[in-house]
Structure 1
Amino acid sequence: MSPWIRRPSRPLVPRLPERWGAAWRGFWARRAPRFARRHVLPWFGILVVAGVGAAIGFALAPGSSTYVGPLQTEVRVRPSLSPGVEVDLPPVGKVTFDTHRAPIIVTANIESVDVDAAARLVRSPQQLLALELTAADTVRSAVVRAAAYSLACGFGGAVLAAVVVYRGRRRTLQTGAALLVVVVAAGAGTALTFDAGALRQPRFTGLLSRAPYVVSSTQNALDRLESYRSGLSDIVRSVSTLYAAAANLPVLGDEQSGSTGLGENVTTVLHISDLHLNPLGYDLTDNLVKQFGVDAVVDTGDTTTWGTGAEASFLGRIGGIGVPYVWVRGNHDSTDTQAQVAAQGAIVLDQGATTEVAGLVLAGQGDPVFTPDGEGAAATGSAEQVQESANETLAAGIETWDDAHADDPVDIALVHDPSGLQPLYGRVPLVLAGHLHKRSVTLDSSGTRIMVEGTTGGAGVTSAGLNRLADGAPLPLSATLLYFGRTGPDAGRLLAYDEVTVGGLGLAEVNLQRTVLSDEDRPALSVPIPTASGSSSSSGSATGSATQPSG
């Protein structure tokens, strides 16, 4: 062998002889089953016994009964894979709050109502004030008692199950210790993930399957529609009243009050869109305006379906709403429709025009196309370029207003089709749109928030809407309540919004969900700067409203 050829070096870790490996495997083959039998399986059995016994105890634990004003309420605390706080309002539905992530649920059931006490409460401002000041402490005490009852019954069930199964002190103590570890971990998880702000964001869900207006399918379509319309008015009025009351419950450390639970210093705007000749859409609008003290209604178009003069009678509902009504043209609305809407007293915005309503500045642009046969598809290609060109006109109108009113810039931009919005990014804090028959909320990197409404008319009299109705799966009616600051540093800023969804014809489901925005949800506006490649990047400076906080 040549002296220049090196021998391969020995490995840093010498290889064990084959017989040693075989001996090691044989050792574990003998020890592993013994280890599992002596340590793993016993503790697994202890956890199973503790879980079964505790589950029975939790199920049998009594609730804590208390009076919150005229309401006799039973509070329970128990384990659940759907954690949070839940207020049952039988037979109407329930209000839930996503307050924590640990597997514990707090439920409150309204057992009875003292009608006489409720009447006295409504007539007495002093009693109302006393209720606001004491309700939080009353509910907190009831929750603590209910948690103590559940914990005691859970431990009792686990210990009793251990005594029955093991009949020995050692295993019984181990079962109790195992349950204690689980309870402490769940309690710590609840405390660490608890968000008091979630109590301001209730979600109402109701299902009135036995309501009198869920009528037989043997009735003709007109009778079914009128029956549902009368029932819809009742259900929305009742549900929205309960929801508003639940949203107004005092939050720990929060002294605000008002019909929305956000304080009285707010302006409430109702956003509707795509009614498509469905009278149920205006029924829903009327009820929400009355129940939530709406200051203005914003309609982002497609009120009609074919844009003909024959549809003018449907537009007569606008004049009776009773609050300012701001409207932009949709792709199903003709210029004749636009004139008819204006004749009803509505404020029609087009070509970047602006208006001041309820302390807010709005700018709008009607849809540049008229396609009554369309079904709300997102614009692409040249169609999106048409939309973008129209939005450039709107952006120019916004810039003109902002240059002349530096202290009071445009708060909301209204369009119908949410395509080609690039000219608006960073120039206005909020864009409201419709067209897609599907609700969505997005926040652009420029600070502009885009809120696309679903269809307040459940797609109404369109081929898509009628097909869904014929298939027994009608589109739901949707609308959104927007809450803006009225005065001070939050003036014109979007503080929160309630998404309202009502089941379609023949259904009786109502859902109301609140979202409260934080300062992080309202970044400063920044107009994107176009790059050489044609794309855009955000800049920290901008003209007009670019330095204003997003709404």
Structure 2
Amino acid sequence: MRDRRRWLPRPLLRRIPALLGLLAVTVLGAGAGFALAPATTTWVGPLQTDVRVLPSLHPGVRVELPPVGEVSFDTHRAPVAVTANIASVDLDAASRLVSSPQQLLALELTVTQTIRSATIRAALTSAGCGLAGALVAGFVVYRGARRAAQTTSLVLVAVLVTGGTTALTLDPAALQQPRFTGLLSRAPYVVSSTQSAMDRLESYRSGLSDIVTSVSTLYAVSGDLPVLGDAQSGPSGLGEDVTTVLHISDLHLNPLGLDLARTLVRQFGVQAVVDTGDITTWGTAVEATYLDGISELGVPYVFVRGNHDSRQTEAAVAAEPNAVVLDQGRTAEVAGLRFAGQGDPVFTPDGEGQVASGSAEDVQRAANRVLAAGIAQWDASDPDDPVDVALVHQPTGLEPVLGRVPLVLAGHLHARSVTLDPSGTRVMVEGSTGGAGITAAGLARLGDGRPVPLSATLLYFGRSGPQAGQLLAYDEVTVGGLGLASVNLQRTVLGAQDRPALQPAADPVGTPSTAPGLEPVTPTLDPAR
């Protein structure tokens, strides 16, 4: 026992409380100094950015982009975080930037150096404040220069070790692999694992300018959105007396599409979601698990079948508690609006149903006669509550419907378009909310580095008074971009001249009981759609 005690470091044991106390004073003082460290402010294009470099248990680089989300990068393993927050935006400068190729090129050439310089200044500022905090704490607690020097030395060693670890673990390639949160998380991100080091450097430089350009675009557009009169309240800025409907289409199994819809529902106070078909790609039972996301939207979901949706798919959608499935000209009132819908008469993937006779457009026109008959029957029996919106998947063969309803919503083409027919019917074709998703065309464009953007449209209808049920304005939302997310919002406000009186075409529609029933058929179509 006596020999064992000889090996105990008794002087060191007696000093442990004092060492722990010194360490605690150092940590508290340095922590206070780091917390009080001011941000380094710099202008990155039209964005005034506050940059901070602070100790953190969650290392990496984080760019906060209110209100659209956050971008983060796992660039290093040392316990230090670099955060950049958009403090303000010069909207005039942002507008000039997004419209000037020369300014965009200048931004791309200078943005990397600007951000690097700001980060170095922020790191030096934080280190200086941490050292000062430890020095002051040492003087206040121990009232002596020796202990104050010790606390300061401990922080200096920690700063040097952290800096060295950051440099050793720094992975510049991680700047090509951002994580998006908020609205930005709904955008696809594509990166090639075969890029050379020079390609990565070029992508990093252009990628930073893409972030600045995309955010500048969003702020420039959002800051100048038109409103209805002096209406400002409500999530849309269009006043409280509107009903907001989200139009989506052609999700094609892409979970990002439903994520985007969920975000827009929450951020814009959407009362109903309208899906004009192709929620799946092959219409199989296996794909039904994707449909569980419908109930998570938390608002009514109005659906018409697309040419990639089987009857089994339609039944699975109908089984969702918030879903309303329309077909054969049936109508339903949702969120105070009257909808009528017709499922697509063709089923592309596996030849369900009978072979079509005639052209594909003739098949669509026959289906639209059924839809028009349903609209005519409803309007005749309820003239005070006419159909406000008709839903189809393919925007072809629409003649029977034109002039009978003010608005037709469609999809299928994976490209957005808005046209006002001379009959007074506005036809709005949505792009692919799933970015073409899991389809041959979508995957081919993804592989070629040209991903199809995610698109959706927010529709604002009058809720009461003489404009009840009328489309007053719409926001076209586009999310996309190769390598980095870009978010664009474009608003169109409609005036009285944009809503002419309806003039039904002479095409006979009959009634639902006399119009021909339609089973899914399989004309030759582009399988990518």
Match of 2:267 in 1: 291
Q: 2:494 aligns with which of 496, 512, 517?
A: 517
- Paired position in structure 2 for 1:545: none
Aligned to 2:242: 266
Change (3 A) 1:373 1:463: farther
Which residue matches 2:255? 279
Looking at structure 1, the residues matched to 474 and 358 of structure 2 have their Cα atoms a distance apart, in angstroms, of 33
Alpha-carbon distance in 2 for matches of 1:413, 1:367: 13
**2:238 maps to amino acid:** L
Q: Distance in 2 between matches of 1:256 and 1:349?
A: 34
Q: Which residue of 1 aligns with 2:455?
A: 478
Q: 2:336 aligns with which of 342, 354, 359?
A: 359
Query: What are the equivalent positions in structure 2 for 1:384-403 lying under 5 Å apart?
Result: 384-403=361-380
Structure 1 counterpart of 2:347:
370
Partner SS, residue 276 of structure 1: coil
- Of residues 192, 196, 200, the one that matches 1:217 is 192
2:390 is paired with a residue of what secondary structure? strand
Q: 1:530 to 1:361 in 2, by over 3 A?
A: closer
Alpha carbons 1:248, 1:259 under 8 Å: kept: no
The alignment's TM-score, normalised by the length of structure 1, stands at 0.53
Please, what is the CA RMSD of the aligned residues?
3.8
**Structure 2 vs 1, CA of residues 466 and 71 (structure 1 numbering), >3 Å: closer, same or farther?**
closer
- Show CA shifts across 1:279-318 (max 9, x none): 1100100100000000000000000000010101111111
Which one of the candidate residues 503, 509, 520 is aligned to 1:526?
503
TM-score under structure 2 normalisation? 0.55
Cα deviation, 1:431-489, whole Å, max 9, x if unaligned, reads: 00001111110011000000000100011011000000010111000100000000001
Q: Does 1:446 align with 2:435?
A: no
Does structure 2 retain, via aligned residues, the 8 Å contact 1:244–1:259? no
The Cα shift of 1:408 comes to 1.0
Match of 1:337 among 313, 337, 341: 313
Does the CA contact (< 8 Å) of 2:400 and 2:505 recur in 1? no
Give 1:502's match in structure 2, choosing from 468, 479, 487.
479
Asked if 1:420 is matched to 2:397, the reply is: yes
Task: State the secondary structure of the residue aligned to 1:528.
Answer: coil
Q: What residue ranges of structure 1 are gaps of 5+ in the alignment?
A: 1-62, 92-207, 220-234, 532-551
2:362 and 2:477 map into 1 onto residues whose CA distance is 32
1:200-279 superposed matches below 5 A: 211-213=178-180, 217-218=192-193, 246=223, 254=230, 256-279=232-255
Match of 1:311 among 275, 287, 300: 287
1:430 matches 2:407? yes
Query: What displacement does 1:80 show?
Result: 7.4
Contact preservation (8 Å) 2:430, 2:455? yes
Match of 1:200 in 2: none
Change in CA separation of 1:239 and 1:335 when aligned onto 2, cut-off 3 Å: farther
| 8 Å contact from structure 1 (residues 248, 258) kept in 2 | no
Contact 2:411–2:431, Cα closer than 8 Å, also in 1 = yes
Task: Name the CA distance, whole Å, in 2 between partners of 1:263 and 1:446.
Answer: 30
Distance 1:437 1:78 in 2: 30
Q: CA deviation at 1:511?
A: 1.0
* Contact 2:301–2:324 (Cα < 8 Å) also in 1: yes
Structure 2 CA distance for aligned equivalents of residues 412 and 525 of structure 1: 13
Given that residues 291 and 317 in structure 2 are in contact (C-alpha distance below 8 angstroms), is that contact kept between their aligned partners in structure 1? Answer: yes
Q: Tell me, in whole angstroms, the C-alpha distance in 1 between the residues paired with 2:260 and 2:392.
A: 22
For the Cα contact (< 8 Å) 2:393–2:411, is it kept in 1? yes
| Other-structure match for 2:67 | none
Partner of 2:382: 405
The equivalent residue for 2:324 is 347
Q: Which residue of 2 aligns with 1:464?
A: 441
Please state whether the residue corresponding to 1:431 is helix, strand or coil. Answer: strand
Letter in 1 for 2:299: V
Please list the CA deviations of residues 169-205 of structure 1 after superposition, one character each: whole Å capped at 9, or x if unmatched. Answer: xxxxxxxxxxxxxxxxxxxxxxxxxxxxxxxxxxxxx
Deviation string 1:26-73 (CA, Å, 9 cap, x unpaired) is xxxxxxxxxxxxxxxxxxxxxxxxxxxxxxxxxxxxx9x9xxxx9867
Superposition deviation, residue 507 in structure 1: 3.4
What do residues 94-133 of structure 1 show as CA deviations (whole Å, max 9, x unaligned)? xxxxxxxxxxxxxxxxxxxxxxxxxxxxxxxxxxxxxxxx
2: CA distance between counterparts of 1:479 and 1:447? 23
| Secondary structure of 2:315's aligned partner | helix
**How many angstroms apart in 2 are the aligned matches of 1:78 and 1:216?**
28
Percent identity of paired positions between Structure 1 and Structure 2:
64
In the alignment, the residues of structure 1 paired with residue 400 and residue 413 of structure 2 have an alpha-carbon distance, to the nearest angstrom, of 20
Distance in structure 2 (CA, Å) of the matches to 1:511 and 1:257: 22
- C-alpha displacement of 1:260: 1.2
1:319, CA displacement in angstroms? 1.1
What letter corresponds to residue 382 of structure 2 in structure 1?
H
DSSP 3-state at the match of 1:512: strand
Shift, 1:509, TM fit = 1.1
Cα offset for 1:258? 2.5
